[in-house]
Amino acid sequence: MGADIDSSLVMIFDTETTGVNVLEDRVVEIGAVYWSAGRRCARPRQIRINPGVPIPIGASQVHNIFDEDVKDCATFDGIGDRFWQHVEKGIEGHTPILCGYNAINYDVRIMNAEFERHGFAHRINPDEVLDPFIFVSWHHRNWKVRKLEAVAARYGYELTNAHAATADCEATGAVLSGMIKAGVIPADLDQALAAQRTMREQLEDEDRRFRYHLYMDREDQETIRLGFGKHIGLPLTEVDPGYLNFCLGKMDDKLTDETKQRFREQSELSGKPRSLF
């Protein structure tokens, strides 16, 4: 048995960046919150970073951090070791469980790229990071919106300052605790990380096969369900063939070959398409 997540020290971290390219873009802010027993247990940590490159206006409009705000801040060279101290020693030497919302696909990768770019030996192991977004993507795949703000609201937490790093961290903590309480995330860390690895593999396979347009039923692993739009979550066999033909006509360049094949087969099996209107 592993550690009980809810009673352990969890360090939830989040980054704000110059863009979404995890290999090329830079970190402009890191936020972290220590979480235990369903609440924040220490003051939040937040630091802004001079990325050494201009911040695109589109990114600034998302997180409200502009070039002027970071021109006198330390570069990543000056904060890499400080961040790693928290990763290794947490509060009073207690090594925390690392956690972040969509951290494995994004924050971990962009932080590791920064570590490498600036000559640090530190690397975050994604297999040791708890990521509620993976559990949301698996268990709540039929939700139309799975962004942090929307998921937090479903778990009873109002995120009022989205894309401020520490605010996102606290919302992630609330989601983590809510999902453990609901039984969506196992309370045991080893079990949670093992389940997460399995889900990641299956989600990556779905992405290769269907991108986001289709997904396999989480219970029987045989029923194919629509993964987008007004019919999200509906078995493909129950989707109006007229809608599938419409998607084939409008989204041909976005659909994988297997998705196109599934749409065509279902449309043909269903006979004459019904009107969309």
Mind listing the pLDDT tens digit for each residue in 163-205? 788 999 999 999 999 999 999 999 999 999 999 999 999 999 9
Average pLDDT, rounded, for the chain: 95
CATH number for the domain whose boundaries are 10-209? 3.30.420.10
pLDDT tens, residue by residue, 65-100: 999 999 999 999 999 999 999 999 999 889 999 999
pTM for this predicted structure: 0.93
pLDDT at residue 152 tops 50: yes
* Sequence-distant (≥ 6) Cβ neighbours of residue 99 within 8 angstroms: 10, 11, 12, 13, 35, 129, 130, 131, 132, 172, 173, 176
In which residue ranges of the chain is CATH 3.30.420.10 found? 10-209
For residues 22 and 30, give the distance between their C-alpha atoms in angstroms, rounded to a whole number: 15
| pLDDT tops 60 at residue 277 | no
* pLDDT for residue 271: 58
Buried (b) or exposed (e) across 35-70, using 16+ Cβ within 10 A? bbeeebeeeebbbbbbbeeebeeebbeebebeeeeb
Q: Is pLDDT above 70 for 123?
A: yes
| Tokens 């490498």 belong to residue | 116
Q: What is the pLDDT of residue 9?
A: 97
Residues 165 and 31 sit within 8 Å (Cβ to Cβ): yes
Contact 99, 36 (CB under 8 A): no
